[in-house]
Chains A and B, each alone.
Chain A
Amino acid sequence: MMDHNHYRFAVMADPHDPDDELRAHREACPECRAFTDQLLRFESRLERALRVDILPKADVLPFARKAAAAAPRSRRWMTMAASVVLALLVAGGVWLTLPQRSLAADVVAHMAGEPDAWRRTEVPVPEPDVDAVLQGSKLRLKSGAGMVSYASSCDFRGHKVPHLVVQTPSGPVTVMVLVHEPVNKSTRFDEQGYRGTIVPVPGHGSIAVLMRDAESGSADVERIAARVDDSIVWTR
């Protein structure tokens, strides 16, 4: 039988990875459950504290500059010519398809910077912490959305946006509420191992919902996006 000290030591070392024995102790012991709740509230603060805004001054990778500088002169001319052709194509109308593609690409790129988001866990983020993350975007979640295992206010395209992870039977699902990104229609995407959809929310921008490829089918993503949309209560 596990004692309180053993439980609390283990959960303080890794609050998000309780094994069956730890879970059983937590369920059976109100004092340790209260301790865990308090610890998880602090853990949420810790996760946000570590995610400092530290965008690089130079947005170019050092080898990207070097590779460009090292290219032979002829290749550089060809590259310039190709750039002009590309620019003409863009001016010719191809640009119409770009904004939504780039929004999806930005959402996917954001995922790589959030490793914790994909953790399978049964430990929910305390409700006040979820509410704090959502408050800035003037919304709250009804209980039907599912268990929220990750909640963070992230920098995205110059705005703070809520980034939530909801645990579902199909695996963790990431939801980004993009109140500053209105879109005209739903867009599905399948990029770099992520499958998702960006759906318009009239008057409130859009919502991006995505899963990792191995864990998802298109139907899963669409269904979850609809459920999330239904679970949102806008407070303005």
Chain B
Amino acid sequence: MNDGVGGNQRRARFQALCQSLRPDLLRFAFWLSRDRALAEDVVQESMLRAWKAQDALLDENAAKPWLLTIIRREYARTFERKRLPTVDVDELIAKEEPMLAAAEEQNIGEVRAALMKLPDEYREPLVLQVLMGFSTAEIARELDLSGPAVLTRLHRARRLLRAACGEDTRLDPQE
């Protein structure tokens, strides 16, 4: 790696970029794992991997999807390494209760609890769309799915969430 002034500037820029994206990356990792401590570990490890591989990032505008891919891989690796036990969602909700209930409005806590219970295959595309601002095509690329499959999962995710939160679902479409 170039240790000159240009190299230092590039490293500083990369560091600033990671710092600015970090809150959302942590949120993404949290909703991926539903475990705050695990999310922090995964993001820290991912940042190190990103730092070592920063030459692979040719366009700063692509930093977010690039970092997200690293986080998803790191999370999968954590499962392989630690062979994490099957989770009890109610236990997870109880463990993260202080953070989930920290919202000012009670109905936000209700949505968070429903999100914790949403199956992974629906929660992940929803988080990518709503929290990370990904388009359907970007989600399809990231999750290796077809566009229609992504739309179906997003639709089901919202249908399940709305039902769990007691919303009026009588006008919801049939698949």
Residues of A within 8 A of B (CB): 4-10, 12-14, 17, 31, 34-35, 38-39, 42-43, 45-58, 61-64, 66-67, 109, 112-113, 115-116, 118-119, 132, 136, 153, 160, 192
Contacts and interface: CB of A to CB of B under 8 A. Distances in A.
Contacts, number: 139
Given A38-B167, A49-B111, A115-B64, A54 B27 contact: yes
Interface string B84-106: 00000000000000011011110
B71 interface: no
B127 A61 contact: no
Given A12-B154, A50-B131, A54-B99, A42 B165 contact: yes
Given A5-B173, A55-B23, A112-B20, 8 more contacts: A12-B154, A14-B129, A14-B136, A42-B167, A47-B130, A56-B22, A62-B51, A113-B20
29 contacts: A8-B171, A12-B155, A12-B173, A13-B136, A13-B154, A14-B129, A34-B171, A42-B158, A45-B108, A46-B111, A46-B126, A47-B130, A48-B103, A50-B127, A50-B131, A52-B99, A53-B102, A55-B26, A56-B26, A58-B44, A61-B19, A63-B51, A67-B11, A113-B24, A115-B131, A115-B132, A132-B105, A160-B104, A192-B16
Nearest to A43: B130
Given A14-B154, A62-B48, A9 B23 contact: no
A147 B6 CA distance: 44
B111 A45 contact: yes
A50 B31 contact: yes
B142 interface: no
A64 B15 contact: yes
A161 to B, nearest CB: 12
A13 B21 contact: no
A102 to B, nearest CB: 14
Nearest to A41: B167
Chain A interface, >50% SS class = helix
Interface in B126-175: 126-127, 129-133, 135-136, 150-152, 154-155, 158-159, 161-162, 165, 167-168, 171-175
B10 to A, nearest CB: 12
B40 interface: yes
Contacts of B70: none
Nearest to A35: B171
For the complex of A and B, list the 7 residue pairs with the smallest distance between their C-beta atoms, beginning with the closest. Answer: A115-B133, A112-B20, A63-B51, A49-B111, A8-B173, A13-B151, A13-B154
